[in-house]
Amino acid sequence: MAEERSSTQNTGALKASRRGFLQAAGATAVGSALGYSVPLGGDLVPGALAQEGKAADFLGSKDIDALIKHSGKTYETHRSRIGTSVVTSNDVFYVRANLPEPDASIVADRDAWELSIEGVKNPGKMTLGDLKKLGVHTVAAVLQCSGNGRGFFAHETSGSQWRVGAAGCAIWSGVPLKTVVEAMGGAVDGAKFITGTGGEELPKELDPKKAMVERSVPIDALDNALLAWEMNGEGVPLAHGGPLRLVHPGFYGVNNVKYLKKVALTEKESEAKIQQTSYRVRPVGVKGAPDQPSMWEMSVKSWVTNPVKTSSGKVQITGVAFGGTKPVSKVEVSTDGGKTWKEAKFVGPDLGQFAWRPFVLETELSSGKHMLASRATDADGDTQPEDFPPNHRGYGHNGWKAHAVEVTVA
Amino acid sequence: MAEERSSTQNTGALKASRRGFLQAAGATAVGSALGYSVPLGGDLVPGALAQEGKAADFLGSKDIDALIKHSGKTYETHRSRIGTSVVTSNDVFYVRANLPEPDASIVADRDAWELSIEGVKNPGKMTLGDLKKLGVHTVAAVLQCSGNGRGFFAHETSGSQWRVGAAGCAIWSGVPLKTVVEAMGGAVDGAKFITGTGGEELPKELDPKKAMVERSVPIDALDNALLAWEMNGEGVPLAHGGPLRLVHPGFYGVNNVKYLKKVALTEKESEAKIQQTSYRVRPVGVKGAPDQPSMWEMSVKSWVTNPVKTSSGKVQITGVAFGGTKPVSKVEVSTDGGKTWKEAKFVGPDLGQFAWRPFVLETELSSGKHMLASRATDADGDTQPEDFPPNHRGYGHNGWKAHAVEVTVA
């Protein structure tokens, strides 16, 4: 494997020294001593998980060799394992859990799972079996953690130090939430949000509002929201929220509530901590508050996925690009850290505005080091910025420079 | 689960009695006593494999609960596990092997795999690592065993008694064979076929021509042929021919040579038995011969995938439809065994002419038994026939009546 490390142009001294430390120690897990639950240098030790052998039940059929472990329930896909097949296999799909998952028995009899539907004229409960009678719709959509790219910020951030792999593109099947709402008489007057509640068991010692996963998004999302029971042709795996997940195409991962036990059309946003103060974008050092922007729609983003190992000559530089809620219209690739750019070609079928598009630039590379960068533009003409301003929790990074990757050509 | 059994209108007395025998015995594997390597009634005992526990290494991350076992290397996807997500997850994808697979070490260092390219002006060898420098292309294509539907023929046939599940739709990434041929100076004069050779080790006691997997298809297929290293976003799994598989979109499975070690542009078809006399369509009782049609391009086909378990009322009848090398343009669904038909809607993104399209018909079902059938039409206007004539090996069945499925509504 060619040397892969992120651009250091805009990563500060702290991170540089931590990376150096990890490399020097050959460390795969440093942990709490540095205040991180994670090895920063995940990308630097590909395959380190393989030695752990068979994945835990929660991970199901995951290919742990394709994953960077941030914690026992938190795994990132290696940059080099993202591929060009449009979809991300469930076996290599990243995992992020806010709470311990429910017992696996809930995916043994999927159709028995119960969902409460509230904020409609005729509220009530439906089983997944009932939902399947109402309609079928299939959409390809990128799922991405709000903190994907957090590891590229220069400032100190808590949370998993994701680099590029807390994202994947999946094909989801289920029933449109709109169809269910209409079947129950339509929305109550004054509804302004869709509020989804996860079915995890809450730790008894905690205030439910502090622990529960309950997220609200603006009601406009009803046009695309899906109650999904299938992910890439399988029942949604337990690690991904099966048997039933709320999918908001184009919205950050946290809004796509797992183990969905209640969905409500509400006048106000959820009072849960995860809505009120978490997942809020604010300056470094400032506490989260409800008047700050919430991590809802994703912005345009791309990255190179194959830090090529090669000798000099012709090479295919590949990556993925997406526009959040908008189609991605263009991707440019640079092999000199952003001094010059060439337009890349999209690869494979277009799965719609919420999917990502693999891209490729065929070019030649001479011997030596090259900094590979990509820069995507969405259908509204918005282009990834060179840098992305720091924010307290390290959310939403889409600066192209930090996502660049250096390769050494023999 | 609602009762699922195939239409009996055109299955003969022999099969009916065998099915009865198996049901009466509660058998899951009858085996050689009846001259079959397989339990006929696979569909009748869903989940029977689960008790076998962890899948063998060859099966990798397969969900054995989604599969009907025909032999240790031959697995069919349950009708009810095909889903509506456009792609078929590798975890539930059918498996069919003509020979024992090579050692798993070949997928440990994928880029080292060597391919010989012959029948070009400058023949030679390339590693998979070399191939990856030449180009990247991604195509969604149905893979289907020639014998898919064999279990629906009334006459006695050897081979796995596949019903609907020896087929799946995958997204394949690799380099176009055409790009590789051009890089090696173009085809030699007089080339009429693309001949792919598998890398399996041949049993020493057998004449190589009798044992080897080497298939030829007409050279027109060069427009779409792919040397694929990725399947649904993962390196092609060992069970599916990784690290390198020849993919001929629109052609039956056997032509998509696994563990591809040689590809040649040839004047004649391969002399291997698998080309000369196997996979030839001929009347019942007639031996295979080179002048009979070879199992090349697939024909238009569809089937219902969710034998609904439901009470009376609204229901979503789903299925998959594809046109082989042509797009599928229309699917009709019948709930009365073909007396009346309604046009179904396609579900999800269109992944191109070689992919299948999930479909859905929203309708109402009253209490009682209903025979659900589907009938697809391709872009040339070819429609699935009601019946499909018997042929010696039971290839190519696309008659809609036999693929129908009866459900009992409470």
Evaluate whether A174 touches A247 at the Cβ level (below 8 Å).
yes
If pLDDT is split at 50, 70 and 90, which confidence band does B204 have?
Answer: confident
**DSSP-derived secondary structure letter, B273:** H
| Cβ within 8 Å of A, B 224-263 | 230-234
**Which tokens is A79 given?**
């940059």
CA closest to A55 among chain B residues: B61
Asked if the model's pLDDT at residue A19 lies above 80, the reply is no
Selecting from A62, A84, A313 the residue whose C-beta is nearest the C-beta of B138 gives A84
Residues of A in contact with B140 (CB under 8 A): 86, 348-349
Asked if the model's pLDDT at residue B24 lies above 50, the reply is no
Higher pLDDT, B10 or B213: B213
Residue-level pLDDT at A26? 29
Q: Where are the beta strands (DSSP E) in A300-404?
A: 301-304, 313-322, 328-334, 342-343, 345-346, 357-365, 368-378
Asked if the model's pLDDT at residue A378 lies above 80, the reply is yes
Residue-level pLDDT at B70? 94
Q: Which CATH number fits domain A2-276: 3.30.1950.10, 3.90.420.10, 2.40.30.10, 1.20.120.160?
A: 3.90.420.10
Asked if the model's pLDDT at residue A31 lies above 50, the reply is no
Evaluate whether B312 touches B409 at the Cβ level (below 8 Å).
yes
Residue A327, preceding bond cis, omega within 30 degrees?
no
Length of chain B: 410
If pLDDT is split at 50, 70 and 90, which confidence band does A387 have?
Answer: very high
Instruction: For residue A150, give the 3-state DSSP assignment.
Output: helix
Q: Which amino acid is at B383?
A: T
Instruction: For residue A175, give the 3-state DSSP assignment.
Output: strand
Q: Express as a percent the part of chain B with pLDDT over 70.
A: 86
CA B202 to chain CA centroid, nearest Å: 23
Count of CB contacts below 8 A, A vs B? 161
Q: Do residue B173 and residue A348 have CB atoms under 8 angstroms apart?
A: yes
Residues of B in contact with A317 (CB under 8 A): none
Q: Average of pLDDT values for A118-129?
A: 98
**DSSP-derived secondary structure letter, A61:** T
Residue-level pLDDT at B67? 96
Measured CA angle at B357 (ends A251, B379), to 5 deg: 135
User: Which among B159, B262, B151 is positioned nearest to B216, based on CA atoms?
Assistant: B262
| CA–CA dist A56, A201 (Å, integer) | 20
Higher pLDDT, A15 or B165: B165
**Rounded alpha-carbon distances, angstroms, from residue A158 to A6, A40, B156:** 19, 12, 66
| Cβ within 8 Å of B, A 295-314 | 309-310, 313-314
Residue-level pLDDT at B40? 29
Selecting from B63, B90, B352 the residue whose C-beta is nearest the C-beta of A89 gives B90
Residue-level pLDDT at B11? 29
**pLDDT tens string B365-407:** 999 999 999 999 999 999 999 999 999 999 999 999 999 999 9
Q: Average of pLDDT values for A28-48?
A: 28
User: Which among A373, A387, A298 is positioned nearest to A332, based on CA atoms?
Assistant: A373
Higher pLDDT, A58 or B184: B184
**pLDDT tens string A331-355:** 999 999 999 999 999 999 999 999 9
Average confidence score pLDDT of chain B: 87
Asked if the model's pLDDT at residue A34 lies above 80, the reply is no
Q: Express as a percent the part of chain B with pLDDT over 90.
A: 80
Asked if the model's pLDDT at residue A279 lies above 90, the reply is yes
Best B136, B312, B359, B363 member to test A by mutation, with max A CBs in 10 Å, is: B136
The residue assigned the tokens 């055109």 is B10
State the pairing for strand pair A328-334/A368-378: antiparallel
Residues of A in contact with B136 (CB under 8 A): 84, 316, 318, 347, 358, 360
Q: Average of pLDDT values for B167-177?
A: 98
Residues of B in contact with A87 (CB under 8 A): 87, 171, 232-233
Asked if the model's pLDDT at residue B88 lies above 90, the reply is yes
Higher pLDDT, A30 or A385: A385
Evaluate whether A257 touches A241 at the Cβ level (below 8 Å).
yes
Residue-level pLDDT at B61? 87
**Which of A169-178, B42-51, B261-270 comes out lowest in average pLDDT?**
B42-51
Residue B243, preceding bond cis, omega within 30 degrees?
yes
Asked if the model's pLDDT at residue A35 lies above 50, the reply is no
Sign of CA dihedral B318, B319, B322, B328: negative
Q: Average of pLDDT values for A314-330?
A: 97
**pLDDT tens string B95-152:** 999 999 999 999 999 999 999 999 999 999 999 999 999 999 999 999 999 999 999 9
Residue-level pLDDT at A9? 31
Instruction: For residue B203, give the 3-state DSSP assignment.
Output: coil
Q: Average of pLDDT values for A91-113?
A: 94
Average confidence score pLDDT of chain A: 87
| CA–CA dist B318, B309 (Å, integer) | 13
| Residues paired with B175 in a beta bridge | B227
Q: Average of pLDDT values for A146-164?
A: 96
User: Which among B404, B405, B395 is positioned nearest to B162, based on CA atoms?
Assistant: B395
CA closest to B231 among chain A residues: A85
Residues of A in contact with B316 (CB under 8 A): 132-136
CATH number of the structural domain B301-409: 2.60.40.650
Number of neighbouring beta carbons within 10 Å of residue B54: 8
The residue assigned the tokens 């003509």 is B98
If pLDDT is split at 50, 70 and 90, which confidence band does B7 have?
Answer: very low
Domain ranges, ordered by start, for chain A: 2-276, 301-409
State the pairing for strand pair A345-346/B5-6: unpaired
If pLDDT is split at 50, 70 and 90, which confidence band does B37 have?
Answer: very low
Q: Is the pTM above the cut of 0.95? A: no
Residue-level pLDDT at B8? 31
Element (H, E) at A15: helix A13-25
Q: Average of pLDDT values for B38-48?
A: 29
Residue-level pLDDT at B26? 29
- What residues contact residue A348 under an 8 Å CB cut-off, 6+ apart? A84, A85, A86, A357, A358, B137, B138, B139, B140, B171, B173
B181: left (phi over 0), alpha (psi -120 to 50) or beta: alpha
Element (H, E) at B391: none
If pLDDT is split at 50, 70 and 90, which confidence band does A111 have?
Answer: very high
| CA–CA dist B7, B20 (Å, integer) | 14
| CA–CA dist B147, B257 (Å, integer) | 16
Sheet of strand A313-322: strand arrangement:
A301-304, A313-322, A357-365, A345-346
| CA–CA dist A159, A35 (Å, integer) | 10
Which alpha helices (DSSP H) does B238-307 contain, by range? 273-276
Q: Average of pLDDT values for B47-75?
A: 71
**Which tokens is B56 given?**
């063998």
